[in-house]
Structure 1
Amino acid sequence: MKPQIHIENKDIERSLKLIIIDGVTSEIVVCLTSGTFLVAIALLLGASNFQIGLLAAFPSLTNLAQIISIILMRRFPNRKSITTISLIFARTPLVIIGALLLQFGISIYFLMTMMFLHYFFSSVGGASWNSWIKDLVPENRLGQYFSQRSRYMQIINICLSLLVAVMVDYFTTQRTNELDRLYAVYFVIAGCAGLIGTFFLSRATEPQSYLSKGSFFDLFMMPLQNRNFRNMLWFNGAWVFAVNIAVPFFTVFMLESLQIPMTYIIALAIISQVFSVLTVQLWGKLSDRYSNKSIIYLSAPIYIVCILAWIFVGIYSRWYINMALLVGIHMFTGIATAGVNLALTNIGLKLAPKTDAVVYLSIKNIATSIFSSISPLIGGMLADYFKDKQLKITFEWTSPGLNKILKLIHLHEWNFLFLIGALMALISLRLLGQVQEQGEVGHSVVKRIMKTRFKSDLKESFIIGNIVVWHSMLKAILRRKRAGELESKE
């Protein structure tokens, strides 16, 4: 468990594989105890909009606990021990939730308390983990490694989510009284998988860490005195604030307003994950070769358009039109999310210096948490405010033979949030221009390279496809000719 000053390449490669295993088990935890399933069990326990918003804010709000991680690392410079112990305390409450829900039942307040402890200790361990990984992964491989890790995690999410959702829908329709027991099993599985991943993580190698001496206040203020890093904090905070106004309520909107079955919702999430898996490796290569800023400039506008597109979901009377729109939204959301999340993670790691990296990364997470924890709460209150308010924009045609009303926009409750979130996200992009990144390349150059590469791949596929078709056609002609010759001889 002790840090090492000199680490061989084989130990680095072995450790990176172990960290991927922990990432996969962490994705099992996320898949079974957050997002759609956490909202569903909260609604089952009678949660209000404010409580759902509070649950969505916990992961960000508890990032303030990373200050504790910095204090611990100054006193005990052993990041692996801090991470491992914190994750044990973080994942045990999930087993407790499942066990008690299975035997006695729980209240929404107990669920919120246990999930708060889960996120709290995850944040304490997350700070030391970030610093640990910053020193372990070579900087020129950040994009490639994290895209690979993300790809494995998303594949697990895809394989698991649909199976879990099918079971939820089955219990909802056939065994409604036992639905809470199904959720209990999910929490137990998630907690056990997380503890297994913690064991593998504890076997990875930790490089020796370095922290500056001096008062804790001076250490804490150091990142804020770095102008470039401070600009990055402003952009990151503004972006997550804007996004979290709307995103946590997409699932609630589909469940309550559209009344879409859980299986369909998870299938849509899987579509998003599939497109994220297909594109995350490309985003990773581009971020290593060019810059993370360019990736954000390319992917963020796509994400904003996807948020805006939610305004038009539900205004059509035909079910298949709404589903087709949701499929398109989730496809492009997956593509954009892969780029935005990867770039936001990597730009923080890249701008943090090797010495005191844990302080820089913790301040980044804390600053982000302040913005992203407030926004779901505001979103929940705004949803309640707009609950009895509507804005309709229609196009009406009247003639002797035809009267037709076409709905253009119908804003109500959740849709107001989606519009506000999209506009604020668009405004936040202006702050990205003030961030300077080493090796930065203009996003227009990267866009041109991506277009050229896409055309080249398309051309190659077209040529190869034609060669295959021509080969098949030639074989068919020869077979027919040979059959004709045999018939003439007979």
Structure 2
Amino acid sequence: MGRLKTAVGTVLEDLRQRDVERAREPDVCKTDRNIRINVYHGIVSIISVNLAAPFIGIFAVKLGASNFEVGLLSSGPALVSLLSMIPGGKFIDRRPDQKRILGRLIFLQRLFYLFIATIPFFTSDSRAPLLVAAVALMNMPASIANVGWQAFISRIVPPARRAEAFASRNRLMNLVGTLVVLLTGRIIDVVGFPLGYQIVFAAAFVVALVEIWVFNHIDDSTAKSYGPADILTPDKASKGVLASIVDDIRQIFRQGPFKRYLLASAVFYFAWQTPWPLFTLYQVKVLGANNLWVSLLNLANTGGSLVGYGFWVRMMNKHGNLKTLFMSSIWIFIVPLVYGFSHSLTTVAVFNLLTGAIFSGVNLALFNALLEVTPEENKATYIAYYTTAVNGSAILAPMAGVALLDALGFFWAFMVCAALRIAGSLTFLVVNYLERRTSSRPSATTGTAVPAS
């Protein structure tokens, strides 16, 4: 009880501190405080998201969505991101008031939850298309905010503290987020369709207002750089948008580590996301999952991740980001494999404990590796191009999964997806090898052997 009071007291002190008091703090204290507030923001953010996002797939099925429309719930947002990431990243890089812009983008994204809550009031033939459109369009402010947040927080949290700081954030986000999903699923099942869904979608927007308030308490005075970006020079602007993008791509491809990581990630994300719509369809149509079961599956996943984060932080500190990324991602083929042989939600839930531990390493290493290989200057623009490339593959991945399902059925579609995931993970092993070889070239010229990793 005493520890709880201390923790609550720390939270209140962090959020109540005035600007004058912050200005007198040493930079080290500001960084510590920002890391804590980043954790608080993550917790409130995941509450808002998990009140709605995990149930959109089932909501779509109940609205009468076809398999194709369920696939569009993944492909649609990826397409919108593809169109908005690069101009959004350039816009963020040029703005000195990034924190304020990010708050507005978060508000716009969460505003769509209110619209989704009204969809059952429309005619039955328009509900599923409206949901697909809303989920796609809400990803425009969401994707730009995500790019901006990654660039913003990379200047707030020093590289030496990122692994532990983001692991703590992710660990608590997973724990709180899963409890929210568990409670929300039960509420929806008790209240029923469609009112239960409408209540939680509206609540997601209300919590988002608190999320923005917490985010605004991050002190950006210690950020490394907040000036306008110079990647879009006057010369490039005079060439027009297309010529500017071509010049940007040329510059990106001169950044060897970033280029290799981008290409490997595009392959990996395609393999990772191909079975996503299949999981939802299999859970609901074959295994008969309701909202409570969706919550339980998330709970099992979180249980594994709570154990996994500590292990993967040690691996990252010992082996580096890229090698840890391969070591964790090589095991994600287990998920479609288990689905292919499973005829019980209980079996899936048990294996979710293992996959939760695995994916905690994948998510942590993906993010930290991206920040490691991305140049400090114009970071939001680089991340925008990276995310655009990733989403380019993600547009095709869910539709490829649905096509595999239609052609092969669930079992063989899952087997193909498992093989794809192994191949996708191997790309990070190749990138890690190339990075080690590149860094060892000076030694190689003197005849020094490079030990194998």
- The alignment-based identity, stated in percent, is 21
Residue of structure 1 in register with 2:205 after alignment: 191
Preserved CA contact (<8 Å) 1:382 1:417: yes
Residue of structure 2 in register with 1:54 after alignment: 72
Q: Write out per-residue CA displacement over residues 232-280 of structure 1, whole angstroms, 9 at most, x where no aligned residue.
A: 1121111111121113321220210122343233212211111111211
- 1:239-318 superposed matches below 5 A: 239-314=268-343
Is 1:120 equivalent to 2:134 in the alignment?
A: no
Is 1:148 equivalent to 2:162 in the alignment?
A: no
Decide which structure has the larger Cα Rg and report it.
1
SS of 2:218's equivalent?
coil
Residue of structure 1 in register with 2:4 after alignment: none
Q: Could you tell me how far apart the structure 2 residues matched to 1:284 and 1:365 are?
A: 24
Q: Identify which of 31, 34, 38 aligns with 1:19.
A: 38
Aligned amino acid, residue 296 of structure 1? L
CA RMSD of aligned residues (A): 2.9
Residue of structure 2 in register with 1:421 after alignment: 417
Q: CA 1:129–1:56 in 2, change beyond 3 Å: closer, same or farther?
A: same
Residue of structure 2 in register with 1:372 after alignment: 394
SS of 1:179's equivalent?
coil
Q: Write out per-residue CA displacement over residues 100-144 of structure 1, whole angstroms, 9 at most, x where no aligned residue.
A: 647999712222222223211111111111111111111011111
Residue of structure 1 in register with 2:130 after alignment: 110
**Cα shift at 1:330:** 0.9
TM-score, normalised to structure 1's length?
A: 0.75
Residue of structure 2 in register with 1:431 after alignment: 427
Q: CA 1:423–1:353 in 2, change beyond 3 Å: closer, same or farther?
A: same
Q: Could you tell me how far apart the structure 2 residues matched to 1:24 and 1:281 are?
A: 18
Q: Is 78-87 or 100-109 further displaced after alignment? A: 100-109
Is 1:354 equivalent to 2:376 in the alignment?
A: yes
Aligned amino acid, residue 96 of structure 2? P
Residue of structure 2 in register with 1:205 after alignment: 219
Q: Could you tell me how far apart the structure 2 residues matched to 1:371 and 1:355 are?
A: 26
Q: CA 1:99–1:303 in 2, change beyond 3 Å: closer, same or farther?
A: same
- 1:174-189 superposed matches below 5 A: 178-189=192-203
Q: Is 339-348 or 199-208 further displaced after alignment? A: 199-208
Q: Could you tell me how far apart the structure 2 residues matched to 1:70 and 1:433 are?
A: 29
**Cα shift at 1:332:** 1.3
Q: Write out per-residue CA displacement over residues 76-95 of structure 1, whole angstroms, 9 at most, x where no aligned residue.
A: 33321221111111111112
Aligned amino acid, residue 354 of structure 2? F
**Cα shift at 1:359:** 2.0
SS of 1:354's equivalent?
coil
Q: CA 1:166–1:223 in 2, change beyond 3 Å: closer, same or farther?
A: same
Residue of structure 2 in register with 1:484 after alignment: none
Q: CA 1:262–1:222 in 2, change beyond 3 Å: closer, same or farther?
A: same
Preserved CA contact (<8 Å) 2:147 2:384: yes
Q: Write out per-residue CA displacement over residues 348-403 of structure 1, whole angstroms, 9 at most, x where no aligned residue.
A: 011112112222211111111111221002212332333xxxxxxxxxxxxxxxxx
Q: Identify which of 349, 365, 368 aligns with 1:343.
A: 365
Q: Could you tell me how far apart the structure 1 residues matched to 2:119 and 2:407 are?
A: 36
Unmatched segments (≥5 aa) in structure 2:
1-18, 237-243, 440-449
Q: Write out per-residue CA displacement over residues 152-197 of structure 1, whole angstroms, 9 at most, x where no aligned residue.
A: 11111221122222233334xxxxxx41111001101111112220
SS of 1:298's equivalent?
helix
Aligned amino acid, residue 94 of structure 1? Y
Q: Identify which of 158, 163, 175 aligns with 2:183.
A: 163
Preserved CA contact (<8 Å) 1:50 1:381: no
Residue of structure 1 in register with 2:115 after alignment: 96
Residue of structure 2 in register with 1:325 after alignment: 347
Unmatched segments (≥5 aa) in structure 1:
172-177, 315-321, 387-412, 446-490
Residue of structure 2 in register with 1:138 after alignment: 158
Preserved CA contact (<8 Å) 2:339 2:414: yes
Residue of structure 2 in register with 1:463 after alignment: none
Preserved CA contact (<8 Å) 1:237 1:367: yes
Q: CA 1:158–1:74 in 2, change beyond 3 Å: closer, same or farther?
A: closer
Q: Identify which of 45, 68, 74 aligns with 2:87.
A: 68
Aligned amino acid, residue 86 of structure 1? L
Q: CA 1:289–1:266 in 2, change beyond 3 Å: closer, same or farther?
A: same
Q: CA 1:102–1:204 in 2, change beyond 3 Å: closer, same or farther?
A: farther
Preserved CA contact (<8 Å) 2:119 2:131: no
